[in-house]
Amino acid sequence: MTSANGRTVSVHLTHGGDYLGPLGPFEVEEGWWSSVGTVTARLSAEAGVPVVVVRLVGVTGADGGSGGHTVYHAEAWDRPAGPTPRPPDAGTAALLGPAERRAAWATPEGLRAAVDWAGRALAAAGRPVTGGVEQVRTWNLSGLFRLPTAAGPVWLKVSNPAFNARESEVVALVGGVDPGLVPTVLAADPERGRVVFEEVPGEDCWDPSAGEITAMVPRLVAAQAALAADGRAAAAGLRDRTPAVLAAAVPALLDRLAGESDLTAAELAAARELAGRLPALVGELAACGIPETLVHGDFHPGNWRTGAGQDGGTGDGPVALDYADACLGHPVMDGLRPRAYVDADGWSLAAAQWARAWRERVPGSAPERALELAGPLFHLGYALRYQEFLDHIEDSERPYHEGDPAAEVRRALAAARPAAAG
């Protein structure tokens, strides 16, 4: 899960409303469509001015977010000396034109507004930006930029508040019980989905060691248990994704997927039968004794970061990143999330650490049973979340998630079979 194969890239370049023509195709090693660091470096070198990727406008020859041939709209930050403005042809004009549900940062004006806001906020905080912005990632869910300051680099993240958590507020909530578990927020504009974080040194844990699993999993459990015990999670105004709410939403999703996916009639019938059993499953899950609390929502190892100078500067403690999917829910959803990202030994360790941590925090609870029960609900919860993505993104970005809801329904059916057989 650490990388994807390379791909080829083409670009439609603009500046200030003028079309400057196509660039490419050229090859890049970064396979993921959302990873644009090498793309912008290549474009900036060719144009002679800083260039940023505005959004994905097309992809061929691949799916699942990586590989193939990607086409972007890119904006020259300054006017380049070489290309002469020209009218785009009708097809290109349509690609670059307005669209419903476009992300705020997926326009040249939106990009400039976000970066300008970060610059003003940092200057007001005594951390003025000292150089050019480095675009790291952009896609339908978020944009990520690295900005230099005299006191070290910071990160600007933009996301859509219409269907994501207010990340700065979630970080404050988790940081209230474990400050070292979260990145430091330097500035925030929750209404527009903007936040500036202090850079977290180290590396993302795409291939986590046993020590990293042992350090991270119980630490999140401790924070979640504390937030449940004092009532802060329930009172925080988080999106409600508790098991009962998820179970109630599944039948309507299946009705939609009957006309919008490639699920077969047999699969839909099985999924509807599973949906009918969800209320009982929710009751069994509640009987395991683990409280509903803040859920990270995407607790895979790629969102864990370890390295020197963390944990308040006293050690190498892990930091959990990316709280855009945070909600009020059952923590087993986080407990199961690493499973698809680690090998069998890593999963055995993660599950054991999660279960031990909850038994210690809630004596008499049955976390192992929760992990056994929750598989179908876990996958149906992600089917709902992926459908939420699709409902809020523009058509050109749909290849990122097209088919994901149906795929999660199939995983839910597979997870339900052992329980049904037993």
Task: Residue 52: give its domain's CATH number.
Answer: 3.90.79.10
Residue 31 scores a pLDDT above 70: yes
pLDDT band (50, 70, 90) for residue 64? confident
C-alpha 321/C-alpha 291 separation (Å) is: 23
Domain boundary among 165, 198, 231: 198
Three-class secondary structure of residue 358 per DSSP: helix
Residue 391 sits in the same domain as residue 288: yes
In a domain, 299, yes or no: yes
Enumerate residues 6+ apart whose C-beta is below 8 A from 38.
28, 29, 30
* Poorest-pLDDT segment among 115-124, 209-218, 413-422: 413-422
Tokens of 168: 């700065």
Residue 237 sits in the same domain as residue 122: no
Residue 132 sits in the same domain as residue 255: no
In a domain, 321, yes or no: yes
Residue 87 sits in the same domain as residue 122: no
pLDDT band (50, 70, 90) for residue 63? confident
C-alpha 213/C-alpha 348 separation (Å) is: 10
Q: Look up the domain containing 25 and give its range.
A: 7-96
In a domain, 1, yes or no: no
Residue 267 sits in the same domain as residue 406: yes
Higher pLDDT, 4 or 319: 319
pLDDT tens for each residue of 84-107: 899 999 999 999 999 999 999 999
Residue 233 sits in the same domain as residue 329: yes
- Per-residue confidence (pLDDT) for residue 2, from 0 to 100: 35
- Per-residue confidence (pLDDT) for residue 315, from 0 to 100: 44
Residue 38 sits in the same domain as residue 160: no
- Per-residue confidence (pLDDT) for residue 419, from 0 to 100: 54
In a domain, 342, yes or no: yes
Residue 267 sits in the same domain as residue 295: yes
Residue 74 sits in the same domain as residue 128: no
pLDDT tens for each residue of 141-200: 999 999 999 999 999 999 999 999 999 999 999 999 999 999 999 999 999 999 999 999
Residue 309 sits in the same domain as residue 354: yes
Tokens of 1: 């899960």
- Per-residue confidence (pLDDT) for residue 311, from 0 to 100: 42
Query: Per the structure, how many domains does the chain have?
Result: 3
Contact 144, 138 (CB under 8 A): yes
In a domain, 271, yes or no: yes
Residue with tokens 């004092």: 230
Residue 153 sits in the same domain as residue 169: yes
Q: How many other CB atoms sit within 10 Å of the CB of residue 24?
A: 20
In a domain, 103, yes or no: no
Mean pLDDT of 6-12: 94
Residue 53 sits in the same domain as residue 129: no
In a domain, 328, yes or no: yes
